[in-house]
């Protein structure tokens, strides 16, 4: 698999997730803040995420919590559920968006994107697209709380483009106070 294909997969997943965020239009201003994660390593499982205490939304990549003051957006149209966490003034990642699109019980796309925070001053991006090469994702539901775990593809390090894109494990909890639609 070539570098362009894997990078395109990450870009498509991030774009799909960002599109889901903009389409939803309504948000829950719960202002939850992710808490640091403990990082016990499991052999083939995604890293343990930042716990979502008291029904709070949280996100972790490779076991490291994405600290943020997240607004949670959850919207459903037909059998499609769009989930998003946003922090428009994140100190580390700038405009940080963490999102997932779910159809039925299948995760279709995951996008984690920041306007900064990537390697060498580039934007931060990790993405997953169902059916695309690289990555995986699964969903666990508990009422209006949705936990999405798996592995996504990140942008290649432009200082070493022959190394290809990176992979990163993600663990995201979307605690929806309401689901629009």
- Say how far apart CA 111 and CA 10 lie, in whole Å: 8
Per-domain boundaries in the chain: 3-30+57-158+165-175
Contact 27, 86 (CB under 8 A): yes
From the list 36, 37, 32, 35, the residue with the least C-alpha distance to 55 is 32
pLDDT for 133: 83
The whole-number mean pLDDT for each consecutive block of 10 residues of the chain, a chain of 181 residues, reads 37 39 36 34 34 72 94 96 97 96 97 91 92 92 96 84 86 96 89
């Amino acid at each position: 698999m070539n570098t362009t294909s894997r990078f395109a997969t990450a870009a498509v997943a991030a774009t799909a997730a960002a599109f889901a965020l903009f389409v939803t239009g309504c948000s829950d201003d719960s202002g939850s803040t992710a808490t640091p994660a403990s990082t016990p390593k499991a052999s083939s499982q995604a890293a343990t995420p930042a716990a979502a205490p008291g029904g709070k939304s949280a996100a972790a990549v490779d076991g490291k919590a994405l600290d943020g003051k997240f607004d949670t957006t959850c919207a459903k149209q037909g059998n499609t559920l769009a989930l998003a966490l946003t922090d428009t003034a994140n100190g580390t990642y700038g405009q940080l968006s963490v999102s997932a699109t779910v159809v039925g019980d299948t995760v279709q796309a995951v996008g984690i994107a920041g306007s900064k925070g990537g390697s060498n001053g580039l934007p931060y991006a990790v993405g997953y697209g169902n059916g695309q090469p690289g990555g995986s994702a699964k969903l666990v539901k508990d009422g209006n709380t949705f936990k999405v775990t798996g592995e996504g593809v990140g942008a290649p390090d432009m200082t070493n483009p022959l190394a290809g894109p990176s992979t990163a494990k993600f663990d995201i909890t979307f605690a929806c106070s309401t689901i629009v639609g």
